[in-house]
Amino acid sequence: EVQVVESGGGLVKPGGSLRLSCIVSGFTFSSYSMNWVRQAPGKGPEWVASISASGGYIYYADSLRGRFTISRDNAKNSLFLQMNSLTAEDTAVYYCAREAGATLGYWGQGTLVTVSS
């Protein structure tokens, strides 16, 4: 059974940083691209970043302006998202999701990030 579990969310002040983690099981992690997707309260999902299976190709949403960094550790079946210079607009549930062709076939339960003073 595929399992995807995010952690690391919480309350952070504007301008602060946070590092999200995602640990997976039930599939060969090193064979799949992985993604972060966020969803602000009452809004639709917004794709944030993607990293290829080997980690050699990385893509970000244009709106992030270089503030976020996606990375992975295939030996530990883990995905990360380093978020810097956070603003209130970054408040959202952050999901880790595995690619399945041109879709996101497996999602975690999400971790809530709240940016507020």
Partner 1 sequence: EIVLTQSPGTLSLSLGERATLSCRASQSVISSYLAWYQQKPGQAPRLLIYGASSRATGVPDRFSGSGSGTDFTLTISRLEPEDFAVYYCQQFDSPPRYIFGQGTQLEIK
Contact between 103 and partner 1 by CB under 8 A: the answer reads yes
Contact between 71 and partner 1 by CB under 8 A: the answer reads no
The smaller minimum CB distance to partner 1, of residues 75 and 102, is found at 102
Number of residues that bind partner 1 (CB under 8 A): 24
Return the range that interacts with partner 1 (CB under 8 A); candidates 17-25, 69-77, 83-91, 97-105.
Answer: 97-105
Kindly give, in sequence order, each residue whose CB lies less than 8 Å from that of residue 108, ignoring residues fewer than 6 positions away: 4, 5, 6, 22, 95, 96, 97
- CA gap 9, 71 in Å, rounded: 17
What is the contact mask toward partner 1 in residues 8 to 47, using x (rule: CB under 8 A)?
Answer: -------------------------x-x-x-----xxxxx
- CA gap 26, 17 in Å, rounded: 31
Kindly give, in sequence order, each residue whose CB lies less than 8 Å from that of residue 93, ignoring residues fewer than 6 positions away: 9, 38, 39, 110, 111, 112, 113
Q: Contact residues for partner 1 (CB under 8 A)? A: 33, 35, 37, 43-47, 50, 57, 59, 61, 95, 97, 100-105, 107-110
